[in-house]
Amino acid sequence: MTCQTILEQMKSRSSEQYRKNVIRMGIPESCSIGVSTATIRELAKKIEKSNDLAWELWNTGYHEAKLLAVLLFDKKTVSLDDIERMMADTASWDLCDHLCKNLIIKMNEYYQFIDKWVTSSHTYKKRAAFTLIASSAIHDKKITDDTLDKYLQMIFDFSQNDHEHIKKAVSWALREIGKRDFEYCEKSLILAYELKQSGNKVQVWIANNAIKELSSLVKVEGRTRLISSNSQMGKEAEK
């Protein structure tokens, strides 16, 4: 499929409801097509991975075309500079998280971006650092305790930004580290209470948000990670 053909298919399946949702996130009206993520994923399954086609879609400026492009990049051949370029163009939390969870975290060098972006003044690069921490805690089976301890320290050191999309990602990262096992649940809770005692209003918010879930984690048979006792599976485990 060509870029133009793909855009025509997306436009033919657009809806005003989805378009309004995209615009509400701050995406300019002229950059919104109005198709669901499910439609984007359905299209991606029909298209062979191609960095050239992915860049064509990305460069159209359409938000949904960028979401599709992320799914078409080949993680084996996309470069670190390519990732930097895409993140510099990112202006919404959903594209940020989509890029992190569907492409960056699958690259062997993903951790380099955490170290680099955690101090960034770019809103979505900073969010991406914490999104990648959360994603690595979930998906990286080779992650070490030393690395997780380093990430906990990063959360303590770089969690003062009051942008809603950043502080939510910080809380998410802290909670996902805590779900690793009871040892890290305890470490994460200790850090959360340290943040709460800091007096910094952003860190207090992060702490309160994280403590709600961390204090209710339980072990469920058949799952490697802890889950909240407030979930249906958690409630069944406590019976």
Q: What is the mean pLDDT of residues 223-233?
A: 83
All structural domains of the chain with their residue ranges: 1-77, 109-239
pLDDT confidence band for 233 (50 / 70 / 90): low
> Among candidates 159, 181, 175, which has minimal Cα distance to 214?
175
What mean pLDDT value characterizes the chain? 95
Q: What is the pLDDT of residue 41?
A: 98
Residue with tokens 């910094």: 200
The pair phi, psi for residue 173, each rounded to 5°, is: -60, -45
Tell me the two tokens of residue 122.
């770019």
Answer whether residue 51 shows pLDDT above 70: yes
Look up the CATH number of domain 109-239.
Answer: 1.25.40
Instruction: Report pLDDT digits (tens) over 181-194.
Output: 999 999 999 999 99
Q: List CB contacts of 112: < 8 A, sequence separation 6 or more.
A: 80
Q: What is the pLDDT of residue 235?
A: 54
> Among candidates 152, 140, 150, 77, which has minimal Cα distance to 110?
140
